[in-house]
Amino acid sequence: MVSLKAEHIYLRALEPEDLDFVYEIENDTNLWVLSDTQTPYSKFLIKQYLDNAQQDIFEAKQLRLAICTKNDKTIGLIDVFDFDIKNKRAGIGILIQDKANRNQGYGKEALDVLVNYCFQTLHLHQVYANISESNLASLKLFQANGFKIIGLKNDWSFNGENFTNEYLLQRIKA
């Protein structure tokens, strides 16, 4: 079985105690541009989501894990979405909440662990990510993990003022 641990972080399933953390992330309008969120979420809806988070990835077609430091502080979320068992592929998204925890190597470790899990445990052939052209930190992170830019989606997202481009990145299992 593949470990969900790295040197400085580990990934774990979401727990009911994560309600406030997920609520903060989902309602931080500064982060909405990263996730295409357009409306706030109530604690009630997030609680319902957490109550159902134990669903198997083969049922739900997605998996959201908490990124935690070795001292058990939850610092972010990492997702597998659009899980497609027939074509053996899925999308990956990652978010480190606090800017102070970014550029510390946590995201790199979390992405390494999750990609390994996708290839070794879920037996996927490929993983992909959709990243805004302006999100240089995420582009650097994914490219450092072996993802290749395979396309540019022009005028893909509307940020309320302008249309922005989005890259499609892909990593195929070696």
> Which pTM was predicted?
0.91
Question: In the prediction, which pLDDT does 110 show?
Answer: 98
**CATH code 3.40.50.12780 for 9-172:** no
Mean pLDDT (10-residue bins), the chain, 174 residues: 90 93 86 72 85 78 94 96 97 94 95 97 97 94 98 90 94 95
Q: What is the pLDDT of residues 106-133, one digit of tens each?
A: 999 999 999 999 999 999 999 999 999 9
Domain ranges of the chain: 9-172
How far apart CA 38 and CA 58 sit, in angstroms, is: 27
What are the residues whose beta carbons fall under 8 Å from the beta carbon of 47, sequence distance 6 or more? 16, 19
Nearest to 56 by CA among 35, 75, 78, 80: 80
